[in-house]
Chains A and B, each alone.
Chain A
Amino acid sequence: MQLVKKFGTVTAVDRLDLTVSEGEIYGLLGPNGAGKTTIIRILSSLLVPTSGEAYVLERRVPDKSIASNIGYMPQETALDTGLKVTELLEFYGEIFGLPRSAIIEKENELLRFVDLEAWKNTLIAHLSGGMKHRVSLACALIHDPCLLFLDEPTVGVDPELRLAFWDHFHALKDTGTTILITTHYMDEARRCDKIGFIRRGRIIAEGSPTELLEKTETTSLEDAFVEFSRQEVTP
């Protein structure tokens, strides 16, 4: 692996080694600018690594052929604001080549899940930030992908719905979906199966939430992160 991605002189991802096992929820945890988004974008075939290799579903990325198995939810809302909620979901369904009936069925299911049934005929432009985020998640799920890349999916989502999101992530995991999720909310990282602390493009610690807490003898992941950062600086 030894993945490296540079933007000019900035090294966003620095000799990174990372493995996500099938069927787990892996949380990439780190401050802003740590390189989380860059990693997700490389794995989604949107960026070409400067050096090193990355494999997704046994294919070396970038590779278009695996795209239909991946659900990607970018960090910025990235929605066509000129469409209505249902039109957007239908568009994504069409791109994935789903039959009309399957699109409608899935669309209703997702609208119920993200609690936007009452807004389904509203223009995206007229939705609140949180609602747009929910639409964005629904778009990533329309084709029942077996692998999900979620870049800060819970930013700007109110606490109640955030819980619902996580419940849903676990429900997806139970159906065999693998999820790679980034966040800088330390509290919700507890619900991941495995966490990678990332700082300046490098994984500084990796393990299950309880393992990481035990290793640093701390009670919160936030403290654990600080502890690992300190160890990095003074090896």
Chain B
Amino acid sequence: MKIYRCLAVTKRVFRDLKNDRRTPALMFLAPLFAMFVFGVAFSGDVKDVPVIVVNADEGSTAQGVWISLSEEIISQLDRQMLDITTLKSADEARNDVEHGRALAAIVFPEHFTQEVITASFPGEIQVIIDRSNPNVANPVLKSITAAMTGTMQEIGQEAPITIHEDSIFGKNASFMDYFFPGILSFVAYLLTILLTLITFVGERVSGTLDRLLATPLRESEIVTGYALAFGLLGTLQSAFLLTVGVLVFKVTVVGNVAVAFVVIALLAVVSQSLGILLSGLAKREVQAIQFFPFVVLPAFLLSGIFWPIEAIPSWLRPASYMIPPTYAVDACRDVMLRGWGLEKIWIDIVALVGFASLFLMIAVLSLRRRD
């Protein structure tokens, strides 16, 4: 293996891209377009969600003044997002949620204020919520929590309940924040596979691959050259998207961006090997297009881009762990939302390195196969 030959291949990929305006446009503008579409469609502007409030709280008199913390919390709820109806009975409220007439019900118990103020019991708010659509449920939960924490801060006490989701999504994470690491991984995966798949089917069909293999250039050098090129392209692409994400969509990145780039570069290497592999199965360029659904759908549905892996039926979950983007999405999210470093996402990195080595090897073998 000679590095100058690998680099010659890498250079050829970039020369090809330089002469062709459409492919770079596809690599950089298509994900941007997707981001805008999703950004607008899901930007967290959840509005007029029917929510029921059942307030049995009797309030409490402290130093001669009657106060009701529940009233205070209710007044702080986001009325843009929540369309609030008041009911008397918790059972009735639950029934409404169960039948889809309301997305959530917030129930304040009878001695809520008293318990919180005297701190005799931890005050407890019951939130009955329909979580079938996390894209709605999460912002709603967040808004309830915000109202509650706001009120508690005013009286200088800890929140009576903590809502689990809040810790997962980070304090102020919007849907875009959550979605963004997913789209970085997804476009790196998808576009790299499609580009290498089409390029290599072309190389096989036109005979340029034969011509290359009749020179001292080895299969492993071709694959390495391409891996370098696409690793670099993946990094450039995510740097570009990240810049737009931060500037336009106000995406917050908590962790070290460099770690996220390493993850994306690895994913791009995995994807380009997959592209080369698949190219061996296609006899003509059109046939390559028939692979697209098999490439796109599993990644789209199973890798946790839009909804968490935990939301996927357990019998299907092993499939999630068999596709590489899952690890990249997970790692990027950990880095960008939770601020985790290499020491915590190493399992994902190991998985991606494993996939990369395996697929690179098979890709080399698939080029070596002669009839």
Contact = CB atoms under 8 A, between A and B. Distances in A.
Interface of A: 7, 41, 44-48, 62, 64, 67-68, 70, 72, 74-84, 87, 91-92, 94-97, 123, 139
B8 A95 contact: yes
Contact of A46 (B12, B206, B210, B216): B210
A7 B371 contact: yes
A95 B216 contact: yes
Contacts of B217: 95
Given A45-B214, A48-B370, A67-B215, A76 B206 contact: yes
A47 B19 contact: no
Contact of B19 (A77, A78, A96, A123): A123
Interface string B1-30: 010110110011001100110000000000
A123 B11 CA distance: 16
A83 B19 contact: yes
Contacts of A72: 211, 214-215
A91 B11 contact: yes
A123 B5 CA distance: 23
A67 B214 contact: yes
A44 B208 CA distance: 14
Given A7-B371, A87-B15, A92 B207 contact: no
B19 A84 contact: yes
A68 B4 CA distance: 15
Nearest to A65: B216
Contacts of A44: 214
A77 B208 CA distance: 8
Nearest to A69: B216
Contact of B214 (A70, A80, A81): A70
A91 B8 contact: yes
Interface string B188-215: 0000000000000000001110111111
A112 B239 CA distance: 44
B111 interface: no
B213 A78 contact: no
Q: How large is the interface on B (under 10, 10 to 19, 20 to 34, 35 or more residues)?
A: 20 to 34
Contact of B12 (A74, A76, A91): A91
A50 to B, nearest CB: 10
A74 B207 contact: yes
Contacts of B338: none
Contacts of B19: 82-84, 87, 123
21 contacts: A7-B371, A45-B213, A46-B214, A47-B371, A62-B370, A64-B218, A70-B214, A77-B206, A77-B207, A78-B211, A80-B208, A82-B15, A83-B12, A83-B16, A91-B8, A91-B11, A94-B5, A95-B8, A95-B216, A97-B4, A139-B211
A97 B16 contact: no
B215 A95 contact: yes
Given A70-B214, A82-B19, A94-B8, 18 more contacts: A45-B214, A46-B214, A48-B370, A62-B370, A68-B216, A72-B211, A74-B214, A76-B207, A77-B206, A80-B16, A81-B206, A83-B19, A91-B8, A91-B11, A91-B15, A94-B5, A95-B217, A97-B4
B330 to A, nearest CB: 36
Contacts of A62: 370
Interface in B132-184: none
A41 B209 CA distance: 13
Interface of B: 2, 4-5, 7-8, 11-12, 15-16, 19-20, 206-208, 210-218, 370-371
A72 to B, nearest CB: 4
A78 B213 CA distance: 12
A78 B216 contact: no
A64 B214 CA distance: 8
A192 B219 CA distance: 35
Contacts of A83: 12, 15-16, 19
A80 B215 contact: no
Contacts of A64: 216, 218
Given A74-B211, A80-B12, A84-B19, A67 B206 contact: no
Contacts of B370: 46-48, 62
A91 B12 CA distance: 7
B208 A97 contact: no
Contacts of A48: 370
B354 to A, nearest CB: 29
Nearest to A97: B4
Contacts of A92: 215
Nearest to A142: B215
B366 to A, nearest CB: 15
Contacts of A78: 206-208, 210-211
**6 residue pairs, one from A and one from B, having the closest CB atoms:** A78-B207, A94-B8, A82-B16, A72-B214, A44-B214, A76-B207
Nearest to A40: B214
A79 B370 CA distance: 21
A46 B8 CA distance: 21
Contacts of A79: 206, 208
Contacts of B208: 78-80
Contacts of A45: 213-214
Contacts of A46: 210, 213-214, 370
A80 B20 CA distance: 12
Contacts of A68: 215-216
B318 to A, nearest CB: 39
A74 B210 contact: yes
A72 B208 CA distance: 11
